[in-house]
Amino acid sequence: MIAGLRCAVCDEVIDRSVWNDAVTFCARCQEPLQARVYPAAFRAASVTRVDAAEEGIEAACFQHASNKAIAACARCGRFMCAVCDIEIDREHICPVCLESGARQGTIQNLDNRRTLYDSIAFALATLPVFTIYLPIFTAPAAVYLSIRYWRAPLSILPRTRWRFVLAALFGATQFFGLVAIIVIAIAASRSRITQ
């Protein structure tokens, strides 16, 4: 059951009489606000009931031997009681599989942070160009990142690998271009000395 709602600007409690109104005004800061409240707000907190397993007759939980099993883990097949049963991605799995799935990144809905290596490589290949000298270090780094993390998972949202491709191309071009400039400069200075 929800205790109440507050104005997002001034933290004042929003009066219950204006919940689900079209648009109203905050009693304190007088800013227009809208509060949409849904049935979940009035639902009593559910309590999981665990039944005791009758020894020798009913299947018991793998983790809690005295608790009656209600399902088998979809990943490891072990019996689970109501306490151990976790529903995620429409699958019933045990806490052990949940932990290992989170660690290995096999349960996508537990993924709460991803590093975008393609964006890093692309930034390394493009932004330092204006400094002229930084690409000596950043261009090889961009190429390295593009190759090293080519197969790494990107965002959980739809995303292609075009940044990796461009980063590798730009990085390689900058690096070889700079090397060529340095070689030409050295050769020119040597020829000047010999003359």
Name the site residues for other proteins (rule: CB under 8 A): 2-11, 13-17, 19-20, 26-42, 45, 89-90, 108-109, 111-116, 119-120, 123, 155-159
| Residue 86, strand partner residues | 93
Shortest separation between residue 16's beta carbon and other proteins, angstroms: 4
Distances (CA, A) of 78 to 6, 58, 64, 110: 45, 14, 12, 21
| 37 versus 187: smaller Cβ distance to other proteins | 37
Residue whose CB is less far from other proteins, 28 or 190: 28
Shortest Å, Cβ 139 to other proteins? 18
In this structure, what are the phi and psi dihedrals at residue 185, rounded to the nearest 5 degrees? -65, -45
CB of 67 to other proteins, least distance (A): 25
- Shortest approach of other proteins to residue 156 CB, angstroms? 6
Choose between 14 and 143: whose C-beta lies nearer to other proteins: 14
Per-residue burial over 142-175, b if 16 or more Cβ lie within 10 Å, else e, is bbebbeebeeeebeeeeeeeebbebbbebbbebb
- Specify the residue, 148 or 190, whose C-beta has the smaller distance to other proteins: 148
Asked if residue 12 lies in contact with residue 27, where contact means CB atoms within 8 angstroms, the answer is yes
C-alpha 179/C-alpha 182 separation (Å) is 5
Query: Closest CB to other proteins among 129 and 179?
Result: 129
Q: How far is the CB of 116 from other proteins (least distance, A)?
A: 6
